[in-house]
Structures are given as C-alpha cells and as structure tokens.
Amino acid sequence: MRRPALFLTSLMLLGISPVAFAHPGHLGESGFTSGLLHPFTGLDHLLAMIAVGLWAVQRGGRALYAAPATFLAMMVAGGIVGAAGLSLPLVEPGIFGSLVVFGLLIAFNARLSVTAAITVIGGFALFHGYAHAAEMPGNASLIWFGGGMLLATLALHAIGIALGSLSRAQLYQTGLRYSGGAIAAVGVGLLLGA
C-alpha cells in the first residue's frame, strides 16, 4: 500500500472507531474491555495520545521512547490519585490544554530538550490518568480497567508514531505540522466550550 493511502486509511479508521463503540452493550461495560475502549470514546483523549506519538517522532532521538513512556507512567500516577479519591484541580482544562500544547509542539516542530518534553508531557498525563480513573465504572477493577486503558494508550501512541514516521518526507512534514495546528485548534475549542 502506498504511503498516502496508508496514511488516509489510518486517519479514517481513527475517525470511525469511536462511532463504532458509541453504542453500549456491544462489549463489556467494565473491566479490561471497558478500559481498552475508553480512550477511543473521547476526542480529547484520543487526540492527546496520538499527538504524543506524533511529536515523539518529530523530535526523534530519545524522545521517541521517553515521551510515550512518560505519558504512560504519569497517567498511572494520575489514575492512582483519582482512584484514591484525592482531588486534582483543573482536570478538564488540563486535558483540553494538553491538546493545545501538544498540537503547538507539533505545529512549530518544537525542539525541546528531552527533560523539558517529559516534564510537559508528564504533567498533562496526570490529568488524563485522573480523569480516566474518575470515569471508571463503579463495578470495574482498577487493575483490569487500568490495564485495558494502558494497552489502548500504548496503541494510540504507536498509531501516532506510525503516522509521524510516514511524515518524514517534506510533503508529509507540512501535513504533520498542519495536523498539530488542528489538534491545538480542537483544544482551544474545547477550552472555550467548557
């Protein structure tokens, strides 16, 4: 399959996946399956997780692994905070803000140091993890739900990395930067609508 066709097919599948799972009752309402599907049902989480993979490829080097790994680790930390019933202020603005920041990192091809990048990504991942734990069904096991969530997050990071890897040619780099701008615009829209 040629690269443009693969890229467009991937985007199309990402666009329809939340619609396919939007009807309750098809799969389990709790546990691993629910955790696995949860990141695909919210545009904010979906775009943020893909954006981490896109930016990691764009930045390259150690960031390729450090950015997704940091997001996963700090999402777990945020989930533990949420599951423990502790309060984390400004969760929704933090999630929407992550789209703005991650999108701008991509749009401007930001060359942050790996330390700065993982600090920014990790801080926003706390909000995502907290929200996921807060949205967990009451009868779900934190271990099973969280395991599904982590696997889905890893898959979304991998999709971002794969899409970003297709963007190595100059034509695709421009498209990648526009994608970052679009992600940031969605974040601004969500912030304004909150």
pLDDT in tens, 141-165: 889 999 999 999 999 999 999 988 8
Range among 19-23, 37-41, 52-56 rated most confident: 52-56
Residue 117's nearest CA partner among 161, 159, 63 is 63
- What would the two tokens of residue 50 be? 């893909």
- Indicate the residue type of 124: F
Q: What's residue 8's pLDDT?
A: 43
Between CA 191 and CA 185 the distance in angstroms is 10
The length of the chain in residues reads 194
| Portion of the chain with pLDDT greater than 90, in percent | 65
Query: What is the spatial distance between Cα 30 and Cα 71, in angstroms, rounded to a whole number?
Result: 23
Average pLDDT over residues 166-179: 74
Across the range 176-186, mean pLDDT stands at 92
Give the model's confidence band at 9: pLDDT under 50 very low, under 70 low, under 90 confident, else very high. very low
Establish how many alpha carbons lie within 13 A of residue 64's alpha carbon, considering only the half-sphere containing its beta carbon: 9
Amino acid in the structure at residue 63: A
Task: Report pLDDT for 176.
Answer: 85
d(CA 114, CA 60): 10
pLDDT confidence band for 185 (50 / 70 / 90): very high
DSSP letter string, 86-108:
---TTHHHHHHHHHHHHHHHHHT
CA atoms in the 13 A half-sphere facing the CB of 185: 7
Q: Is the pLDDT of residue 1 over 70?
A: no
- Identify the band that residue 187 occupies on the pLDDT scale cut at 50, 70 and 90: very high
Q: What are the residue boundaries of the structural domains of the chain, listed by start?
A: 30-193
The model's pTM is 0.82
pLDDT the model gives residue 170: 59
pLDDT digits (tens, 9 = 90+) for 63-94: 999 999 999 999 999 999 999 989 999 999 99
